Amino acid sequence: MIKVKRMDHVAVRIDDVEATAAFYSGLLGLPRVAPEMGTMTPAEMNEFRAILQSRTETPIATGGMWIQVGDNQIHMMKSEGGQGHINPFGAHLALEVEDFAAARQSLDERGVPYVEAPDGPTTHQLWLLDPSGNTVELWADRDA
């Protein structure tokens, strides 16, 4: 039996490293952490690409960044394809925020579109897109 100890990281696909850094580090205030994507030498990257494509026919990431969120990380890898629309019921990152009203106000001030859930009995929730079309949920306990 597999016993999962904890979540270590979530990996998502991105289009633009700098726009993604501005979103996650600039807007959300999350720190970038090492190791950064792209630390392989060109020869190592070519070898890894060949191994990956021979086994999965999946293109390898061509860059990216890692973000620290509490004890976990988000690994963001530049590659092809994206979702492109806010989907609270699809794949997404969920990030707990300290002050939901302040987070919503910050999005409003910057003109960032989002979908807000109706008031629930225990939580506030909204969803937005990062620059690559990945859905991101911001939530907080109603009592917080």
pLDDT of 27-62, one tens digit each? 999 999 876 545 556 776 677 667 666 655 555 566
Inter-residue contact 134 to 127 (CB < 8 Å) = no
Strand, coil or helix: 39: coil
Model confidence over 71-126: pLDDT tens digits? 888 888 887 665 678 878 777 888 999 899 999 999 999 999 999 987 667 888 88
74 lies in the same domain as 88: no
pLDDT on residue 53 = 65
55 lies in the same domain as 17: yes
pLDDT on residue 27 = 95
Strand, coil or helix: 140: strand
Model confidence over 12-29: pLDDT tens digits? 888 888 999 999 999 999
Residue 10 belongs to domain with CATH number: 3.30.720.120
Residue ending a domain, choose from 81, 102, 130: 81
Residue ending a domain, choose from 55, 81, 107: 81
pLDDT on residue 64 = 82
The whole domain housing 70 covers 1-81
Residue ending a domain, choose from 28, 55, 81: 81
Inter-residue contact 45 to 60 (CB < 8 Å) = yes
Residue 95 belongs to domain with CATH number: 3.10.180.10
The Cα 83–Cα 76 span in angstroms is: 15
3 lies in the same domain as 68: yes
Domain count, the chain: 2
